[in-house]
Amino acid sequence: MSVSLKAGSSLLAAVFVAGLVVSEAEARPARTGQVPNGATLGCAGCHVSASGGGARNSFGLQIENGFLSQAGFAGVVQWGPELAALDADGDGATNGEELGDPTGSWQQGDANPEGEVFRPWDAESTPPAPMPTAVESSGWAKIKRLIAQD
């Protein structure tokens, strides 16, 4: 009798531990370390719910549909130039520009890029347009005058 009680409580403990592991895996907190500045965004970086799990936002859908090493829990986000060049929310700023890595050169384990972080799934959150260069803000007439001054 005492043996079966012990076996029963061991089984209960195993089920409890397995439940903890599964609930942690569903949130996949490791994925926040697989995109630049992912920890700043947290679970909301890819999921509609800020607490993680469940439906993906537009950025999470892009990752899920082509930028995971494999489907399911073990899949690792394949951050790089291709994913960085996409624009999940269609606001004109690339995912890389919004996450501080325009070229997609950041790799897992690197320090996060510095600067302000924007939300690649939210068209209301957009980095400011870069300032035009001197040549871009000059007209041809100004350039010709500069050249003629020699």
**Residue 93 within binding range of Ca ion, rule CB under 5 A:** yes
Instruction: State the number of binding residues for Ca ion (CB under 5 A).
Output: 4
Residue 99 gets the label, from left (phi > 0), alpha (psi -120 to 50) or beta, of alpha
Residues 63-92 that bind Ca ion (CB under 5 A): 87, 89, 91
For Ca ion, the closer of residues 40 and 138 by Cβ is 40
CB 87 within 8 A of CB 118: no
- The single-letter code of the amino acid at 136 is E
Q: How far is CA 104 from CA 28, 34, 78, 81, in A?
A: 22, 12, 10, 4
**Residue 101 within binding range of Ca ion, rule CB under 5 A:** no
**Residue 35 within binding range of Ca ion, rule CB under 5 A:** no
Q: How far is the CB of 62 from Ca ion (least distance, A)?
A: 11
Q: How far is the CB of 91 from Ca ion (least distance, A)?
A: 4
For Ca ion, the closer of residues 89 and 101 by Cβ is 89
CB 43 within 8 A of CB 27: yes
For Ca ion, the closer of residues 47 and 97 by Cβ is 97
CB 73 within 8 A of CB 28: yes
Residues contributing to the site for Ca ion (CB under 5 A):
87, 89, 91, 93
